[in-house]
Amino acid sequence: MSNLCEVYRKTPLKPHHIIPLDFQSVESVPDSHVWSDCDDYNPTEILNSHLWPESHKFRIQDEHIVPNEHPSIPIIDLTDSNAADYVGQACQTWGIFHVTNHGLPLGLFEDVESEARRLFSLPSQQKMKALRSPGGATGYGSARMAPFFSKSMWHEGFTIMGSSVDHARVLWPNDYKRFCEVMDEYQKQMKALAHKLFLMILKSMGLSEEEQNWALMVQSNESNALQLNSYPPCPDPTRTVGLAPHTDSLLLTILHQSDSDGLEVLQDGAGWVRVHRAPGSLTINVGDLMHVFSNGKFKSVCHRAVVKRTHHRVSIAYFSGLPADSVVGPLSKLGPPRYRALTVEEYLGMKAQHLDRALSLIRI
Ligand SMILES: C=C1C[C@]23C[C@H]1CC[C@H]2[C@@]12CCC[C@@](C)(C(=O)O1)[C@H]2[C@@H]3C(=O)O
Ligand SMILES: O=C(O)CCC(=O)C(=O)O
Ligand SMILES: [Fe+2]
């Protein structure tokens, strides 16, 4: 089991921040889930783009990245010989991009999505048997960041770190193996892809082979999490929020948006931009630890998820991180450090206390 689990044990949550609404039993949106107050909706520090240097506020010009004249999220073919450069550029400008030709079989996504749907379509009382414990990191429940918002999100999640067998067994006592196999295989494939992307990123940063080897050694120990997200159909999608605006804490996130769009990113000047899926692609975004490691060159992108009136949207997010005791600080070759170095554990502790303010609190 991943040692990220232990970090979260130190910041226990209250049960009402863990237990999702029984979405199957409601016909209208209860007041607890109506987001009318704008302040709730927009975390202050994230919107304050002082976190990001002026030079990053430009549009991608490279025609290989953006095939049309309207700015849109880059789509990068991982088999292109220049892919590493494009990945580096996309991390600097958008903090998010799609990858195609990633080599993963379509069946893998069909399987993980169908298992996720099998889980979320269980009756609420059954899912509650796998509820995350107050000091726990894995299992069924609301998003970990729930306590920072006065309203609840139209969302339920299932978090896996390592093996899912303990929770799967209580959900399906006689039929849990398939779920575990699919989740194990998915995590294995994602780990390999995260490794490949990390290597491209290091290359794009101009690291020497020796420096690359060192960094890869650190990354080969990655600590990760798999998050199944469910956004049930909502009677009033304009007054509800799927996932509130946030940045992801770890290095990189690999997102599979199943069959419907719903992810939006906050872009300087443009506001909220819908992240349309490209066929067969995966969506990659930069997380806070990568933001620190790149000395702010790569930006940890603020994003949110919206909900649908009739469609039950499911997404699968893989968070690639580092062991809790590893130290993350800006690469020295990227200029004077703009963030102080700290352990993953310390950073996640700050995130648990300050959410979107954590990154600015470690600025030098
Ligand atoms: C390893 C991770 C990463 C977590 C916490 C833990 C497991 C679940 C992840 C999420 C998923 C939903 C958004 C987020 C903000 C949340 O509330 O839970 C993420 C958070 C983070 O990136 O900080
Ligand atoms: O469902 C989505 O599209 C976004 C999920 C997400 O941001 C997350 O799990 O951190
Ligand atoms: Fe996220």
Which of 252, 254, 263 for mutating ligand 2's site (highest number of atoms within 8 Å of CB)?
A: 263
Which of 252, 253, 277, 312 for mutating ligand 2's site (highest number of atoms within 8 Å of CB)?
A: 253
The tens digit of pLDDT for each residue in 260-273 reads 889 999 988 888 88
ipTM rounded to 2 decimals: 0.99
Class of domain 4-59+70-321: mainly beta
- Ligand index nearest the alpha carbon of residue 159: 1
Classify strands 75-77 and 96-100 as parallel, antiparallel or unpaired: parallel
Q: Which of 277, 313, 338, 340 is catalytic?
A: 313
pLDDT of residue 240: 94
Domain locations in the chain as residue ranges: 4-59+70-321
The tens digit of pLDDT for each residue in 136-157 reads 999 999 999 999 999 999 999 9
Closest CA to 256 of 229, 238, 236: 229
The tens digit of pLDDT for each residue in 87-110 reads 999 999 999 999 999 999 999 999
Closest CA to 100 of 72, 83, 78: 78
Q: How far is the CA of 223 from the centre of ligand 3 (A)?
A: 17
Cβ neighbours around 178 below 10 Å, total: 14
Q: Is 142 in the pocket of ligand 1 (CB under 6 A)?
A: no
DSSP classification of residue 244:
E
Prediction pTM value: 0.92
What percentage of the chain reaches a pLDDT higher than 90? Answer: 75
pLDDT of residue 71: 64
In this model, does residue 41 exceed pLDDT 70? no
What percentage of the chain reaches a pLDDT higher than 70? Answer: 89
Q: Locate the ligand 1 atom nearest the alpha carbon of residue 4 and give its number.
A: 1
**Does the active-site annotation cover 313?**
yes
Give dist(CA 50, CA 65) in Å, integer.
26
Give dist(CA 245, CA 46) in Å, integer.
9
Q: Is 249 in the pocket of ligand 1 (CB under 6 A)?
A: yes
Give dist(CA 44, CA 352) in Å, integer.
16
pLDDT of residue 56: 31
> At 115, is the pLDDT very low, low, confident or very high (cuts 50, 70, 90)?
very high
